Homo-oligomer: A and B are copies of this chain.
Amino acid sequence: MSTIRGARERARVEVTAAIKDEARKQLAAEGAAKLSLRAVARELGMVSSALYRYFPSRDDLLTALIVEAYDAVGEAAETARAEAGAPAGAISPAARWTAVSCAVREWALGHPHEYALIYGSPVPGYAAPQDTVGPASRVGQVLISVVRDAHLAGGLALPPVDPALRPEAARMAADLAPDLPPAVVAALVSAWAQLFGLISFELFGQFNRVVEAREQLFRHAVHELGHSVGLLDGRTSAAADAARA
């Protein structure tokens, strides 16, 4: 029904896409704080006021870029999960955890400025509207689903949990994954932040002059992070199977 409409609608979609493309280039050159409608218009051969027919304000354009970035990294994570045999393929959940993590890192390395837009310092004076919270949760949802698969297959160890953290762990579990043990959910939220800590340090230059073999360090660290949420690697998984049999 709405696949083919008038030429106006098609043109509008194309111009909107061109604006966002150019804005992404500016993001790379100048950063989100200096994203300017005028510069985008100039580069597109338009006049600045014409852009307001597509985006009512600079912040709306920024929001569109943020949503697209979250969607892109979320899709990268979802694709990696699928290719690594979700929901319960031949590949172990631990390997799927690593595959998803590596996919997120690779997306970040390939789109450093979009990564900085969503996982770096907040843009001063910009308040994220509600539209961003759904897309922002996609990567987290993928990580949860990988751990859930392991849980359903009985291949999940229970991480230790500090008694002081128990109420919060229960609250987070109720919110995020009621079917998982609270200890796992708490460990998962920590691991989620730590995963992005590794990526951010690499991307934001903290590893300069410190780490050289960054992919190896990353793979090793996320493997250990998988353990921290209770995922078992191949050997212990086999041992668990043996114990069960």
Q: Which residues of A contact B (CB under 8 A)?
A: 29-31, 33-34, 116-117, 119-125, 128, 133, 136, 140, 160-162, 164-165, 167-168, 171-172, 175-176, 186-187, 189-190, 192-198, 200-202, 204-207, 209-213, 216-217, 219-221, 223-225, 227-228, 236, 243-245
Q: Is the CB of B164 within 8 A of A221?
A: no
Q: Is the CB of A212 within 8 A of B168?
A: yes
Task: Say how many copies of this protein the assembly contains.
Answer: 2
Q: Is the CB of A168 within 8 A of B216?
A: yes
Q: Is the CB of A31 within 8 A of B33?
A: yes
A211-B168 contact, Cβ under 8 Å, with A162-B220, A194-B194, A194-B198: yes
- The chain B residue sitting closest to A214, CB to CB, is B168
Tell me whether chain A's interface is mostly helix, strand or loop, or mixed. Answer: helix
- With both chains docked as a complex, state the minimum distance between the C-beta of A237 and any C-beta of chain B, in angstroms: 12
Pick the contact of A220: B31, B161, B167 (CB < 8 A). B161
Query: Can you list 9 A-B pairs with a CB-CB distance of less than 8 A?
Result: A30-B125, A31-B123, A116-B122, A119-B206, A172-B210, A186-B220, A196-B197, A197-B200, A228-B228
Chain B residues whose C-beta falls within 8 Å of the C-beta of A171 in the assembled complex: 212-213
A162-B223 contact, Cβ under 8 Å, with A210-B172, A212-B168: yes
Chain B residues whose C-beta falls within 8 Å of the C-beta of A33 in the assembled complex: 30-31, 33-34, 124
- Residue from A121, A136, A190 whose CB has the most chain B CB atoms within 10 Å: A121
Chain B residues whose C-beta falls within 8 Å of the C-beta of A245 in the assembled complex: 236
Q: Is the CB of A205 within 8 A of B122?
A: yes
